[in-house]
């Protein structure tokens, strides 16, 4: 039987289902997966926009396309679940958004390129300084990476841990505390990502980076434009630095190295 005919024969059921969905929506209890599915087109348009931005900045990045694993992760992670309720309509614009505590959720383009610069894959281990909303950690977890992430603002750490658990990102471990100190008992890490601006490289984190590992960090004066920097640790423990884009991040807080 043609699908359209079958749907027509069940028009009464369709009306009932539509009424039920409308009731759920008005009551604020529309199932999470239904809301997430409703945002899938917005996520795809966002990924298309990011791809265009990557091509436009290829000379600075060193690549002209998103890796398929990064693209798939950006397309799958529901960013609207990581922003405060009043901002959810803005979740799929390519811009940072305030999340409270003086912190922001990073621009999706930045999340995508930082994820790609780490050059990590399934089974690799990444440390993140600055959990924030948990969105960056979720993107890495969607790439099948094990993520250890620290957030100095306890309320943000708790909220991020709750959101990640609710959405099933069980590859992420969240710790409330000073991220500058790293996560020594989980080291060494294949990659380290710092999601706040720092004036210098965190010594504790360099020590916890495996040979061949990569550290991605916005460096410079927190009150000015910074440079997104990529460091690769060679077999002798030396760091090779490459400066990329001009960026603007909130400053790192905590007991920075003297």
Tens-digit pLDDT profile for residues 129-182: 999 999 999 999 999 999 999 999 999 999 999 999 999 999 999 999 999 999
Residue 3 lies in a domain: no
Residue 205 lies in a domain: yes
Alpha-carbon gap, residue 131 to 137, rounded angstroms: 7
pLDDT at 224: 83
Tens-digit pLDDT profile for residues 1-22: 222 222 323 333 333 333 333 3
Nearest to 139 by CA among 81, 184, 183, 73: 73
| Active-site pick, 5, 25, 106, 133 | 106
Please name the helix (run of DSSP H) or strand (run of DSSP E) that holds residue 58, with its range, or none: helix 58-61
Residue 169's CATH number? 3.40.50.150
DSSP 85-99: GGGGGGTTSSS-EEE
Which burial class, exposed, middle or buried, applies to 239 when counting CB atoms under 10 A from its CB (0-12, 13-18, 19+)? middle
Alpha-carbon gap, residue 200 to 234, rounded angstroms: 19
Residue 58 lies in a domain: yes
Residue with tokens 């959720």: 105
Residue 71 lies in a domain: yes
Residue 23 lies in a domain: no
Residue 157 lies in a domain: yes
Residue 11 lies in a domain: no
Establish whether 25 is a catalytic residue.
no
pLDDT at 206: 95
CA terminus-to-terminus distance, the chain: 74
Total structural domains in the chain?
1
Most confident of the ranges 2-6, 125-129, 244-248, 249-253 = 125-129
pLDDT at 223: 78
Domain that holds residue 159: 31-247
Tokens found for residue 141: 């977890």
Residue 15 lies in a domain: no
**Which pTM does this prediction carry?**
0.84
Tens-digit pLDDT profile for residues 79-115: 999 999 999 999 999 999 999 888 899 999 999 999 9
């Amino acid at each position: 039987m043609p699908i359209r005919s079958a749907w027509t024969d069940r028009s009464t059921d369709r009306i009932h289902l539509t009424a039920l969905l409308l009731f759920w929506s008005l009551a604020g209890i529309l199932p999470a997966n239904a809301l997430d599915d409703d945002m899938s087109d917005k996520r795809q348009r966002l990924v298309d926009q990011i791809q265009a931005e990557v091509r436009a900045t290829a000379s600075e990045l060193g690549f002209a396309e998103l890796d398929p694993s990064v693209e798939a992760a950006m397309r799958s992670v529901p960013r609207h679940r990581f922003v405060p309720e009043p901002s959810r309509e803005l979740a799929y614009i390519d811009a940072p958004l305030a999340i409270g505590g003086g912190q922001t959720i990073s621009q999706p383009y930045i999340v995508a390129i930082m994820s790609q610069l780490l050059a990590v894959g399934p089974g690799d281990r990444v440390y993140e300084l600055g959990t924030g909303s948990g969105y960056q950690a979720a993107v890495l977890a969607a790439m099948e990476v094990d993520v250890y992430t620290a957030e100095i603002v306890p309320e943000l750490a708790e909220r991020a841990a709750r959101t990640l658990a609710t959405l099933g990102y069980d590859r992420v471990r969240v710790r409330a505390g000073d991220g500058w100190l790293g996560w020594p008992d989980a080291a060494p890490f294949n990659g380290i990502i710092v999601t706040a601006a720092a004036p210098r490289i965190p010594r504790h984190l360099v020590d916890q980076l495996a040979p061949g590992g990569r550290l991605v960090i916005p460096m410079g004066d927190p009150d000015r434009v910074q440079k997104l920097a990529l460091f690769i640790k060679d077999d002798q423990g030396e760091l090779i630095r490459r400066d990329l884009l001009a960026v603007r991040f909130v400053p790192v807080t905590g007991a920075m190295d003297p």
